[in-house]
Structures are given as C-alpha cells and as structure tokens.
Amino acid sequence: MNLKIKNALVSLSDKDNIIPLLQVFKKYNIKIISSGGTYKIIKKLGYNCIELSKYTGFKEMLDGRVKTLHPKIHAGILHDRKNRAHKNEMTKKKFPSIDLIIVNFYPFQKVVRNTKNPKNIIENIDIGGPTMVRAAAKNFKNVAIITNKNDYTELIKELDKHKGKTTLRFREIMSSKAFGLTAYYDSMIANWFNNKLKIQFPERKTIFGRKFQDLRYGENPHQKSSIYISDYEDKKIGFEQLNGKELSFNNYNDIFSSLNILESAKGKACTVIVKHANPCGVSENRKPIESYKNALACDPVSAFGGIIACNYRINKKIALEINKNFSEVILAKGFDKDSLKILKRKKNLRLIDISKYQYNDGLPIKNFDGSFLIQNKDKIIIDKKKLKCVTKLKPNRKEIEEIKFAFNICKYVKSNAIVLSKNFSTIGIGAGQPSRLDSCKIAIQKARKFFPKKIKNSIAASDAFFPFSDGIKALIKAGVKIIVQPGGSVRDQEVINTANKAKIVMLFTGTRHFNH
C-alpha cells in the first residue's frame, strides 16, 4: 500500500547530502520536525522546520540525553493507521502521525577509534536514535525509515515516482536495513564492553560486520561471495591495492593466511609464498632478495599462481626476479618506482601495499549451518619453560633459533603438518594429510626434488606428536638431524629410542599446533 508522507522527523549526526532531501520535502509539502544541530542547519539553509521541543512542548533535558523519548514522537511513529482504537487515542491527544524517520546515530565507531576515554565513548552510545529507528522499522506498514545517507537517492526516487508517497516494499526493505543497523550498532557496543572487561567468550556473542564489497564469486564460480569488515574502522580493509584485477574470495583467503605468517616474523626480512591457504615456501634472511629466492626455491611448482607476501619494500632487483614467474598477488611494505614499472607490465597482477596494515587480536571464527566455533589466536611459538631436549645429543644456540623458525611455520600449515628447514628457509612442506607419515613423505619428496643436498642435516618440525616411530624413521633416513615436536604420545619413549639410536637431536615443545 502506498502511503502519503505528511510529517518527517529528521535527526542527523552526519548532515552530508541533506539539501536534496529538503528540496524534495518542499516539493511535496512534507513538514519537517528536527532538533539541535540538524534543526539549525535546516533553518540556515532557508527551509521551514518545527523544532522538536516546540513540537512536543517539552524541552530536551539531561544534556540532550532525553529529547526524542516522548509519547508524542513514539505514538506518532508506532500507531496503526487502520486501528480504530489507535486513531481515537491519537485524536484525543492531538498527536499527528509521523510518516518518515531519517536518523543516523551518534558516532560511536569514530569515537572508539579516536579515544580510549571510557566516559567519552559511553556518552556516544545513542539511545533515542536507535529507539526511534526500531519503532519505525517495526511499524514499516505505516512508516518509512531511512538510516543510511546512501539511501537518500532511493527515497527521492520513490517520492518522485509516487508523488510524495512510499510503497510497502520500499518501506519493508528500509526496515530490514534499519534492524540490520541497530543490531550492528549494539553489537559494536557489546563487543567494546567485552574487550574492556577482557571477556573473550561471553554468554551471548554478537559479530558485527560491514560489507566491504561483493566478490565475483566464492571459492568456485557457482558460489556467491562478499567480504565484510568486522572492525570499528569498517570502511577500509587496511591495505592498498596499486594494480591488477579485483581480489577474489580465494585471493583474500590466501592473503590473510600469508599475513598471519608475516606477523610472526620478527627482525629479519621474511618472504612467504602461499597457495590454497598453505605456505609452500617461507624464508628469513638479512637480505630481502635472498629471502625471496629461498622462499621460491622451496617449491617453485606449487608457487605458480600463488601469493607472495613480504615484510619489506620491493625494489627493482626483487621485482625483476618476481616477474620471472606467474603470481596472482604481491604483498609488500611498499614498492619503489622502478619496481612498480616492472611489475605493472602484467596488468592483472595484483600489487598490494601492506605498509599501513594493522594486525589485531580478533578471534578466529569457523561457521557451520546453525553454529560457529571461536578460539583465540595461536600465538605461541616455543615456550622455553616447556622446551625439553629428550635425546642424548643437544642442539646449540644457533640451532635453537632455527628450531623456533621451523616450529613456528608448521603452525600455519594445515594439519597434519611437517616442515623441513635449512638456514631459516623451508625446503620441504607436507600439509593436510590424515596420516603424519604421509605428511613426512610429502615433505621429504619436495625436499629431494628441489634441495637434494640441503636435506642432509636439516631440521624437521611437526605440529603434533608422532604416534608411531615410522614417521621419525622416514625423516632420519632422508637426512634430518634435528626433530622438534610437541611430544605427548604413549609411544614417546619408542620415538626417543629411535632418535638416540640414529644419533640425532629431538626436542619436545609441550605445545601442539593443529591448524584445521
């Protein structure tokens, strides 16, 4: 049913793009009710407007905390136009109908981003705005609700098309958006309180997100997909794309996987190459060019069409090396002019500057049909208190540092995970196998294919314990000299005996790194 708009209540924190609204209101003789800064701007622009306090006959109080919370406002919004009893009550009270609400809320998000002062943040929790929005959204059969300035154009089109009226479908769509906004707004507030109180797993968990963009499709062409940002800065993803096609679902998935690994790299130049969310090459080196070459050399076949992520600035020399192979995305902490010229020769190559990317401690979430799992991030590399050398042979200090590197990388490899390392570079990775022995075989196979000489005296890291000695025997036979694993199997002693017999070093970390 199309309804004529006679009275509109406008209350805006963000007053951009208000003039076209005022013009269309004048065109269709729509009376405006407003207060505070919005009222002043409307009057300043030369349009008629009734001040809210004059409309209700009640001055706002408590520093503006109470102004729209008045029966004349909420009765005007909530009454059912077809209900006789409602009509009679409204007539007795001389309360007019309010047919359109245009509201945006106090800038809670902006305040949270710009201050840590709890008092200022709490003062910017809007009460009256969400209350009006929920009332109007509930009564969409009689009232239109606009909560986003991007919908002003749609409202104007609607009024022009229907000569000052709105359709039921339009009102219902706007109602859906309005409830989405109030839920989003309240979720941000609830999460702020949980963060403030250090409550990671509250009884009721709300996840807020703003759509950043639609993607061409999901993991496969028959799946639809979008990316959402769940952060108080919800209009920027945190990095800047400088070249190439739009990013896909799979691109984003690989990008976030590579950024997680980069976050854990401290000090040295680190290069991460990811394919299907698994690292296929990781290297740390004082020289960025060597870091890149070593990461690529780990598995150049798997690296084809992958994601390259660097915690350093790309220069001409590195760009020339990168351009020798096909990659989908390059992430780096900046690109110099010469490197951009070289890399932009490939029009589809996505170049992304991550120099301003901010890591946060958001909780990883896995969603299912009617439930979801949440856990905190796996940030432990090696707890020195739990680290235990269980063999007769002991590692030296330099070897301990590389043991940390290998064990850290294996926590980002899909389980079961085996990582072979030499000189702070991966030389073989076995990922995602139901059998740990199979993961060992794959890691060995990769190393033998690309590093037949380096596998001798290399380090092997396992994300979980070895349930049998077969995997250990395969690694020893291949030439591994140090094995690091969590330990904890009922057959630990059998595995330790195998290591001692082969005269290799084995360490137990006491920490498991499953990644499913």
Residue 119 is assigned to a structural domain of this protein: yes
Whether residue 250 sits in one domain with residue 301: yes
- Judged by average pLDDT, the poorest of 159-168, 180-189, 379-388 is 379-388
Q: Which helix (H) or strand (E) holds 313?
A: none
- The domain containing residue 130 runs over which residues? 3-196
pLDDT of 384 over the 90 cut = no
pLDDT of 275 over the 90 cut = yes
pLDDT of 274 over the 70 cut = yes
CATH code assigned at 445: 3.40.140.20
Residue 400 is assigned to a structural domain of this protein: yes
Give burial (CB, 10 Å; 0-12/13-18/19+) of 276: middle
- Judged by average pLDDT, the poorest of 4-8, 318-322, 359-363 is 359-363
pLDDT score recorded for residue 94:
85
Residue 429 is assigned to a structural domain of this protein: yes
Q: What is the mean pLDDT of residues 24-38?
A: 90
Average pLDDT, the chain: 92
Counting Cα atoms < 13 Å in the Cβ hemisphere of 264 gives 23
The torsion angles phi and psi of 350, rounded to 5 degrees, stand at -85, 120
For residue range 444-477, what is the model confidence (pLDDT) as tens digits? 999 999 989 899 999 999 999 999 999 999 999 9
Query: Which residue is it, tokens 């990922």?
Result: 431
Q: How far apart are CA 103 and CA 352, in angstroms?
A: 37
pLDDT score recorded for residue 376:
87
Whether residue 477 sits in one domain with residue 397: yes
Whether residue 396 sits in one domain with residue 325: no
Domain total in the chain: 3
Whether residue 427 sits in one domain with residue 304: no
> Pairing mode, if any, of strands 210-215 and 225-229?
antiparallel
Whether residue 94 sits in one domain with residue 151: yes
For residue range 78-103, what is the model confidence (pLDDT) as tens digits? 888 888 888 888 788 888 999 999 99
Under 8 Å between Cβ of 306 and 277: no
Whether residue 413 sits in one domain with residue 469: yes
pTM of full prediction above 0.85: yes
For residue range 393-447, what is the model confidence (pLDDT) as tens digits? 999 989 999 999 999 999 999 999 999 999 999 999 999 999 999 999 999 999 9
Residue 228 is assigned to a structural domain of this protein: no
For residue range 181-211, what is the model confidence (pLDDT) as tens digits? 999 999 999 999 999 999 999 999 999 999 9
pLDDT score recorded for residue 110:
87
Q: What is the mean pLDDT of residues 305-323?
A: 96
For residue range 130-141, what is the model confidence (pLDDT) as tens digits? 998 999 999 999
Residue 493: band (very low, low, confident or very high) from pLDDT cuts 50, 70, 90: very high
pLDDT of 150 over the 80 cut = yes
For residue range 47-57, what is the model confidence (pLDDT) as tens digits? 999 988 888 87
Whether residue 21 sits in one domain with residue 148: yes
For residue range 236-260, what is the model confidence (pLDDT) as tens digits? 898 999 999 999 999 999 999 999 9
Q: How far apart are CA 308 and CA 315, in angstroms?
A: 14
Residue 278: band (very low, low, confident or very high) from pLDDT cuts 50, 70, 90: very high
Could you give the maximum distance between any two Cα atoms of the chain, in Å?
Answer: 97
Query: Among 135, 162, 196, where does a domain finish?
Result: 196
Whether residue 248 sits in one domain with residue 188: no
Angle CA 376–380–381, to nearest 5: 145
Q: What percent of the chain has pLDDT over 90?
A: 70
Structural tokens at position 251: 């691109």
Query: Among 327, 353, 379, where does a domain finish?
Result: 353
| Beta bridge partners of residue 227, listed in sequence order | 213
pLDDT score recorded for residue 177:
95
pLDDT of 68 over the 80 cut = no
pLDDT score recorded for residue 61:
66
pLDDT score recorded for residue 82:
83
Catalogue the E-assigned strands of 189-313: 210-215, 225-229, 240-243, 269-275, 278-285, 306-310
Residue 263 is assigned to a structural domain of this protein: yes
Neighbours of 478 (CB within 10 A): 20
Whether residue 260 sits in one domain with residue 192: no
Structural tokens at position 175: 């109602």
Residue 233 is assigned to a structural domain of this protein: no
Residue 224 is assigned to a structural domain of this protein: no
Q: How far apart are CA 272 and CA 283, in angstroms?
A: 7
Residue 364: band (very low, low, confident or very high) from pLDDT cuts 50, 70, 90: confident
pLDDT of 358 over the 70 cut = yes
Whether residue 13 sits in one domain with residue 137: yes
Whether residue 168 sits in one domain with residue 55: yes
pLDDT score recorded for residue 159:
93
pLDDT of 360 over the 90 cut = no
Whether residue 448 sits in one domain with residue 301: no
Residue 368 is assigned to a structural domain of this protein: no
Highest mean pLDDT among 38-42, 375-379, 446-450: 446-450
CATH code assigned at 149: 3.40.50.1380
Residues known to be catalytic: 138, 276
Contacts of 388 (CB under 8 A, 6+ apart): 487, 507, 508, 510
Query: Among 353, 379, 400, where does a domain finish?
Result: 353
One-letter amino acid of 2: N
